[in-house]
Amino acid sequence: MATLEIPALIARKRDGGELTPDELAGFLGAYLDGEVEDAQVAALLMAGVIRGFTEAEAVALTEVLVRSGDTVDLSALTGPTVDKHSTGGVGDTTTLIVAPLLAAAGAQLAKLSGRGLGHTGGTLDKLEAIPGFRVDLSAAEVATQVQEIGLAVAAATSDLVPLDKKLYALRDVTATVASKALIASSVMSKKLAGGADHVLLDVKVGDGAFLAEPADAADLAELCVRIGEAHGRRTGALVTDMSQPLGAGIGNAIEIAVAIEVLRGDRPGDRLTDASLALAAAALELTGVPSDQAREQVEALLADGSALERFRAFVAAQGGDSSVVDDPRGVLPAAPITTGWVPPAGSVQGFGCRRLGELAGRLGAGRMRQGDTLDLAVGLEVHISTGDRVDGTHPAVTVHARSEEDAQAVLAELPDVVRIGDQDAAPVELVQARVGLG
């Protein structure tokens, strides 16, 4: 595409017009080849965020992203292949519970993940808190492991959807992440390139998510489902609450410990357990299992230890110390300072969920810039949910810190981040919508 056309395309989007699939492909293809500048793409993105990208543009964008790199061929696998993706939240370790649950149910998951940017690491960073755990598996190793035990979690290579990596980095620094079309095309391009026939999305809504409004999250879920189905993948989504941390842990090793505790059945009824069961059941539904049967099946696989044993086999297969399953807190790295925050008696009215994530990031659990080193041991443990009563004597949050000074800095902020009041408060519904499911 002649460079001269680029400003005209940006201007059309700025004025509320639509770009054709060929125009988007030409524009972004030239960007990947280094012929179009960051500033020009940033201008297009901002115009699209303000004016809105159409559904046709979102579909076209997804195709451009998928075609920018390699795709994974899972056709040699024998079970139903499933992928699961969360749009991102605080204390969200459902993948580490849902994947072994689904593997125990006979599904196959080859999960290619990235490293996190933000309050805590991504799934790969969290898993690396387990001593010896390897995420740099070759495609052949992933395929063999998935065929043998039903799951593998590996680092996505830079050959998979390279344009998404470049665009995401630009969106991150230009305040253009929170667009439904951009999120949907980014998420779905990676799922389509990942090769699974069944795709379950966990679209988060609330202060700790990219989208705070339920209607926006439902629109995003519907757009993702339509893009997946248009590409022949059975796709469904749950819209789930992110107005409060999902699991008790916020921080890499702490999240692994909490996920293992869920798999061990030690956290019945908590929100992470409930969300994981709902997601695993929804994924099974996509593979054709009737809804009530799917729920019963995943509950049974959690209760009888089958999912825990899959997790043990998964850790061992990737070189990790599988005794972490028996003694997570003994095996995982621990922070030298742990201190509890005891709020006054009352009811938990709500959280600054994003701020809680940021506090964990400030302790060292998150990466503010690509390449930053994480402190895998530090973070927060949140023992309360919205609607709970607190008695003024028990810790509501435990701070895991590298130094006393770090711990004190976080303790000083918690009263502003966790809202306690005299009025009774209602718990927040965990699963707020189901899209593309029966």
Which residues are tagged catalytic?
85, 164, 171, 186, 190
Angle between helix 38-51 and helix 21-32 axes, rounded to 10 deg? 140
For the window 205-234, what string marks contact with ligand URA as x by the rule CB under 6 A?
Answer: -----x------------------------
Residue 88 is a binding residue for ligand URA (CB under 6 A): yes
Burial class (CB in 10 A: 0-12, 13-18, 19+), 422: exposed
- Which of these ranges, 183-191, 195-203, 230-238, 274-282, lies near ligand URA under the rule CB under 6 A? 183-191
Residue 62 is a binding residue for ligand URA (CB under 6 A): no
Q: Pick between residue 155 and residue 177 the one whose CB is nearest to ligand URA.
A: 177
Q: How far is the CB of 194 from ligand URA (least distance, A)?
A: 12
- CB count within 10 Å of CB 40 equals 17
Answer for which of 183, 199, 298, 418 binds ligand URA (CB under 6 A) is 183
- Which of these ranges, 178-186, 214-222, 267-275, 364-372, lies near ligand URA under the rule CB under 6 A? 178-186
Q: Count, in order, helices (H) and strands (E) of the chain.
A: 17, 13
Q: What is the C-alpha separation between 324 and 202, in angstroms, rounded?
A: 27
Residues whose CB falls within 8 Å of the CB of residue 148, separated by 6 or more in sequence, listed in order: 317
Residue sitting closest to ligand URA (CB): 186
Q: What is the C-alpha separation between 417 and 100, in angstroms, rounded?
A: 34
Q: Pick between residue 82 and residue 313 the one whose CB is nearest to ligand URA.
A: 82
- Which of these ranges, 19-27, 177-185, 195-203, 291-299, lies near ligand URA under the rule CB under 6 A? 177-185
Q: What is the C-alpha separation between 274 and 268, in angstroms, rounded?
A: 8
Measured in residues, the chain has a length of 438
Q: Pick between residue 164 and residue 406 the one whose CB is nearest to ligand URA.
A: 164
Q: How far is the CB of 36 from ligand URA (least distance, A)?
A: 20
Q: Pick between residue 188 and residue 262 the one whose CB is nearest to ligand URA.
A: 188
Q: Do 397 and 418 touch, CB atoms closer than 8 A?
A: yes
**For residue 261, what are its two tokens?**
């505790």
Residue 240 is a binding residue for ligand URA (CB under 6 A): no
- CB count within 10 Å of CB 353 equals 28
Q: How far is the CB of 259 from ligand URA (least distance, A)?
A: 20
Q: What is the C-alpha separation between 273 and 394, in angstroms, rounded?
A: 23
Residues whose CB falls within 8 Å of the CB of residue 296, separated by 6 or more in sequence, listed in order: none
Residue with tokens 């297009």: 44
Q: Segment 263-302, which members bind ligand URA (CB under 6 A)? A: none
Q: How far is the CB of 63 from ligand URA (least distance, A)?
A: 16
Answer for which of 47, 137, 187, 225 binds ligand URA (CB under 6 A) is 187
Residue 186 is a binding residue for ligand URA (CB under 6 A): yes
Q: Do 177 and 137 touch, CB atoms closer than 8 A?
A: no
Q: How far is the CB of 156 from ligand URA (least distance, A)?
A: 11
- Which of these ranges, 127-135, 175-183, 235-243, 284-292, lies near ligand URA under the rule CB under 6 A? 175-183
Q: How many residues bind ligand URA (CB under 6 A)?
A: 8
Q: How far is the CB of 114 from ligand URA (least distance, A)?
A: 8
Q: Do 433 and 278 touch, CB atoms closer than 8 A?
A: no
- In the Cβ-directed half-sphere of 200, how many Cα atoms lie within 13 Å? 30
Q: How far is the CB of 144 from ligand URA (least distance, A)?
A: 27
Could you tell me what percentage of the chain is helix, strand and coil, using 3-state DSSP and rounding each to the nearest 5? 45, 15, 35
Summarize as ranges the residues that interact with ligand URA (CB under 6 A).
Answer: 87-88, 177, 182-183, 186-187, 210
